[in-house]
Amino acid sequence: MTSPFTTVRPAEEVMGERKYVPMARTRGKLMIVRPLEYQATGFVTTHKPEGTDVVFCDIAVLDAIPAATDEYGEPLPGFAAGEQFRRQSVLQGYLKGTFKRYIGGTLIGTIYFGPREKGKPPMMWQDLSADAACVQRGQQFLMEHREFLVPVEAAFAPAVAEVPAGPAPYVAPVPAQQHPYAQPDPYQQPVVPAAAPASAPVAGPVYQQPQADAGQPLTTLQQLRAANQVNHLGQPQSEQVPF
């Protein structure tokens, strides 16, 4: 039978599965900090059950952190030089105020304690980007540990090369099909083929003056017919004379 109850693991066992930067013990240690993300609300802690703001950072401590004991005499682990602490939740007030203004940047510096007002002294950030020796050490670390510049949650998708678009392929126009029930347009003018140019003027009928027989004059009727075969311009008549 499967139990409906959730097994509670000891807090120290859960915390032992992940490394957490001992921020107070990094005082005076050269550090590279990469602020990744600022969350304004909703980060629940033991002292802030209602939720608070937080800055997530990747942190590399270039100097070794020796083992120590806490105020209760419990041993605290040591870390070798160059130890990386990925996606750490930074909750200290002054550090949050500094780091959240440089999301996406790469900072180099160290932690120092500010003036004590009440309780523990505040942790402050000392920028060392103008110190040539510190910058050289930081650059050397990044060259040897390029993986530190890649966020642990990064997922890479294969790049697909884009094929440049060429001209659209030529598509021959489809001739319009005559509808079987189409009727001729009654308003379409018929196409009259151009007449071939005449190579020579066409000769019309040539009028010949009737000649009288030799030695015989024309009668009056013959003279009238001959006169009616031409018009007043001397051109042949187009109609047959009525007699």
Between the two ends of the chain, the Cα-to-Cα distance in Å is 140
The kind and range of the H/E element at 140 are helix 132-144
Nearest to 222 by CA among 211, 238, 230: 211
Per-residue pLDDT band for 113 (boundaries 50, 70, 90) equals: very high
- pLDDT given at position 227: 64
**168 pLDDT above the threshold of 60:** no
Judge whether 137 and 62 are in contact, CB under 8 Å: yes
Q: What is the mean pLDDT of residues 44-70?
A: 92
Task: Kindly list the distances between the CA atom of residue 203 and the CA atoms of 198, 206, 228, in Å, as whole numbers in the listed order.
Answer: 12, 8, 22
d(CA 49, CA 38): 19
**78 pLDDT above the threshold of 80:** yes
**70 pLDDT above the threshold of 50:** yes
Per-residue pLDDT band for 46 (boundaries 50, 70, 90) equals: confident
Counting residues of the chain whose pLDDT is more than 90, the rounded percentage is 45
Would you say the pTM of this structure is higher than 0.75?
no
Per-residue pLDDT band for 237 (boundaries 50, 70, 90) equals: low
- pLDDT given at position 243: 33
Residue 205 has, within 13 A of its CA and on its CB side, a CA count of: 10
pLDDT tens-digit map of 82-108: 999 999 999 999 999 999 999 999 999
Report the relative pairing of strands 52-61 and 107-113 from DSSP bridges. Answer: unpaired
Please give the DSSP secondary-structure letter assigned to residue 100: G
Q: What is the mean pLDDT of the chain?
A: 76
| Least confidently predicted of 19-23, 126-130, 138-142, 183-187 | 183-187
Q: Is 183 helix (H, G, I), strand (E, B) or coil?
A: coil
d(CA 66, CA 81): 10
Query: Residue 63: left (phi > 0), alpha (psi -120 to 50), or beta?
Result: beta
**160 pLDDT above the threshold of 90:** no
Angle at 239 between CA 233 and CA 243, to 5 degrees: 105
**242 pLDDT above the threshold of 90:** no
